Chains A and B, each alone.
Chain A
Amino acid sequence: MLKMAKTVLALLPLIGCLGCASYVPRDPAYFLGESSDVLRSLEAARAQEEKAPSEALRIYQDFLKGSAPLEPFPSYQEQLKKALDNKGKVQYGSASNFHGESRGFPVTYARWTQAFALAHQGSARVCLAQGTVESAERELLSAMEVIKRCEFCPHTSGESLTESYLILAKIRQTQGQIGKALVAQLSADLVRDHVRSERGVEEFYLEKSLLFGDVARKQFNETQRFYNAVNIGQAQEAQARFNAVATSVSMANAHIQGMAAQQALEKSGGIVTPEVQRAQISAQLARVSAQLNVISNEMHAGGQSKVEFMSTPWAIPTFTQQLVDPKQGANTPAIMKDFAASAAQAGGASYQAGAQQVNQAVDDLMPYRQSAKMDGAVPQVEKFAEVFNAFLTQVQEIKN
């Protein structure tokens, strides 16, 4: 009996060590790594998609089924704040259960958003190749919806939307809906034009500075230090860290809000410069765009499918601005005219008149593009919208 007890006693440290060997703290660093892992595995699946489509589809679907659905960013920020608040009040070892709130960091949220979009897009591509077009359409719609949730990653969203529109164009071609394929291609070209515009480049750097800037880094590091302090039971240190974390979380929030607001106004220091005027008109145009979206949504409620609405340029937030501001889209007029020409060619003689009207409407907007003056731009864009919508409705009917 004594011998057995001695043996057990001798084995205890070994058991203890095995236990400690499997310990993985769920701290902010872990979740940053987790978001990297997720992206890496989906990118790897994308790379092998052509060689092993079924395996790639399995990886995409496993990810989508195994991951909690993505909520809007502010809800994770709220969860993060609450979690930190709770952890600030509790004792030793209590911080080991960080979970959903880990998406409350801009960088982790951006990666998860990207991962969801990649998985949906990948599923859409494989489904299309396998002939299940309805599933492909459904997946694609999810990809387009999910990427828009990352409001502070305009560049990544733009790149992802371009890819989604290109896949949609292929789906429509497969279905023999030539007109709808042309519309999807137009949307892809317009988004790409914006991504590569002067404003698009600025958005790239803004996105990077939000995700990998000082504020984001400070928020992350402070949270990690706070976590470590709580986890090892340093109550005073933890309290001090908590205050720093609370400040850094609010700062990160304010930073993102600031980016969403009109930056030209901020830069000018209140002086109404031509740049500010342009930004104000831009905001007005955005409202026009939103109004048109409402009309399109009503169309959607009246029978047009959501994916149809999503495939039109009106679903692109910058579309109207691109028409009158070369900084938002350097080649937008040429892209519109190319679309009109291609549609007229595909549709035949009855489409010529509509195409010419679109060309004329685009030309009418040129003075605004060429000069910084924006007086009268809004009614002119509304006129363009009327002409373009009529043509768009006609084009969507073109079939093989």
Chain B
Amino acid sequence: MRIGIILQSLKRVAVYMVIPATLSVTVGCGFKERIYIPNPPDQNFKSTSLRVAVIELEDRNPTAKVRTFGALGFADVPGVLYATETDVGNPTQFGKCLAAELKSAQLFSQVDYFPTWEKMTTGYTEYDLVVTGVLNHDTVVGTKTSYGLGPSGVLFMFLGLPWGSDSRDVEFQIYAFHPRKPWAHAWQHKVSFKDYNLYGLYYGHFSDGRLMVNRSRIMHVSSPDDYYNSDYKYSDYCTTQFLQPELKKVREALYATVR
């Protein structure tokens, strides 16, 4: 039984150390962008002639109470039990992902995305609806636990105590208004999702046993191969698996209001 566990652990270590190293040499780093994949269009809804402008949400992220970005490495120092890294205020461009969703829905004759408001100062009359909102928070917390390098550390690891965790807490409010009546919100909708991933020797792995670490889910990695093959240069942080159901609701609710 004990030998089995050890062998399994060794296999996992081999998988998450050897495979990435091999792939980085053979495949090379960086050929994919992790961007939001919108829901497919729904044939039950009839398209409208409305022209929609989506403007990036206002960043209302709070201050970090404890912001120790880059501090996780301390957990590797002998004697340190754990270190926490909080990355509060990630200004994810949810507006961009929402625009992609609305475009994909094919419910509106035109959907344009603007990262800033400049275009609207002269061009607001070109649209029938403005969709924007407020990003209340996008909080990422990473923890890492070190149990020391001596026999006790090894024992704790094999007992299955956690090696660390990643969590994310997102909340944003979307609203829509007629371009000539910006003071009156015709519609609003709150989106929130949470993710928590604890990992240790026996848990927090992909289905094939590879360890799901390094904020893989936050960067919306959908499969182990994607995780190990992709580069880390770009992620829009619009985690597809969490946002798809939420944004489907958003587009349906918006359509029901304005049709």
Residues of A bordering B, CB below 8 Å: 10-14, 16-17, 20-25, 29-30, 32-34, 36-37, 39-40, 155, 159, 195-196, 201-202, 204-206, 208-209, 212-214, 217
A39 to B181, CA, bound (A): 24
Q: Which of B61, B66, B183 contacts A22 (CB 8 A)?
A: B66
CB atoms of B58 and A17 under 8 A apart:
no
A208 to B119, CA, bound (A): 11
The chain B residue sitting closest to A217, CB to CB, is B116
Q: Report the 5 A-B pairs with minimum CB-CB distance, sorted nearest first.
A: A33-B63, A208-B117, A13-B77, A209-B117, A17-B74
CB atoms of A23 and B68 under 8 A apart:
yes
A-B contact pairs, 11 of them (CB 8 A): A17-B83, A21-B66, A23-B67, A33-B61, A33-B63, A33-B89, A201-B124, A209-B117, A212-B58, A212-B117, A213-B117
CB atoms of A24 and B64 under 8 A apart:
yes
CB atoms of B89 and A21 under 8 A apart:
no
Known A10-B78, A21-B66, A213-B118; judge A205-B124 contact (CB<8 A): yes
B240: CB under 8 A from chain A? no
CB atoms of A196 and B183 under 8 A apart:
yes
Q: How far is the CB of B236 from chain A (nearest CB, A)?
A: 17
CB atoms of A213 and B71 under 8 A apart:
no
Q: How far is the CB of B9 from chain A (nearest CB, A)?
A: 27
CB atoms of B79 and A30 under 8 A apart:
no
CB atoms of B121 and A29 under 8 A apart:
no
A232 to B248, CA, bound (A): 43
Chain B residues positioned under 8 Å from A213 (CB to CB): 116-118
The digit string for B53-97, where 1 denotes a CB below 8 A from any CB of A, is: 000101111111111100100110111110110001100000000
The chain B residue sitting closest to A208, CB to CB, is B117
Residues of B bordering A, CB below 8 Å: 56, 58-68, 71, 74-75, 77-81, 83-84, 88-89, 116-118, 120-121, 124, 179-183
CB atoms of B120 and A208 under 8 A apart:
yes
A90 to B179, CA, bound (A): 48
Known interface pairs A24-B67, A213-B116; 19 further A-B residue pairs with C-beta atoms within 8 A, sorted by A's residue number: A10-B78, A10-B79, A13-B77, A13-B80, A14-B80, A16-B77, A17-B77, A20-B83, A24-B65, A30-B63, A33-B64, A159-B183, A201-B124, A201-B179, A205-B120, A209-B117, A212-B56, A214-B116, A214-B118
A32 to B88, CA, bound (A): 12
Q: Which of B68, B89, B118 contacts A29 (CB 8 A)?
A: B89
A214 to B120, CA, bound (A): 12
Chain B residues positioned under 8 Å from A39 (CB to CB): 60
Chain A residues positioned under 8 Å from B68 (CB to CB): 20-21, 23
Known A21-B68, A21-B83; judge A13-B116 contact (CB<8 A): no
Q: How far is the CB of A272 from chain B (nearest CB, A)?
A: 21
A321 to B63, CA, bound (A): 42
Q: Which of A25, A36, A204, A208 contacts B67 (CB 8 A)?
A: A25
Q: Which of A13, A24, A201 contacts B79 (CB 8 A)?
A: A13
The chain B residue sitting closest to A7, CB to CB, is B79
Q: How far is the CB of B247 from chain A (nearest CB, A)?
A: 22
Q: Which of B65, B80, B89 has the most CB of A within 10 A?
A: B80
A204 to B62, CA, bound (A): 25
Q: How far is the CB of A64 from chain B (nearest CB, A)?
A: 20
The chain A residue sitting closest to B130, CB to CB, is A205
A17 to B59, CA, bound (A): 30
Q: How far is the CB of B237 from chain A (nearest CB, A)?
A: 16
A17 to B62, CA, bound (A): 24
Q: How far is the CB of A315 from chain B (nearest CB, A)?
A: 22
A11 to B77, CA, bound (A): 11
Q: Which of A12, A21, A23, A202 contacts B121 (CB 8 A)?
A: A202
CB atoms of A37 and B78 under 8 A apart:
no
CB atoms of A33 and B71 under 8 A apart:
no
A202 to B122, CA, bound (A): 8
Q: Which of B75, B81, B118, B180 has the most CB of A within 10 A?
A: B118
The chain B residue sitting closest to A22, CB to CB, is B66
Chain B residues positioned under 8 Å from A214 (CB to CB): 116, 118
A29 to B63, CA, bound (A): 8
Known A21-B71, A32-B59, A33-B88; judge A209-B121 contact (CB<8 A): yes
CB atoms of B79 and A20 under 8 A apart:
no
A213 to B121, CA, bound (A): 10
Chain A residues positioned under 8 Å from B67 (CB to CB): 23-25, 30
A217 to B93, CA, bound (A): 14
Q: Which of B62, B64, B116, B181 has the most CB of A within 10 A?
A: B116
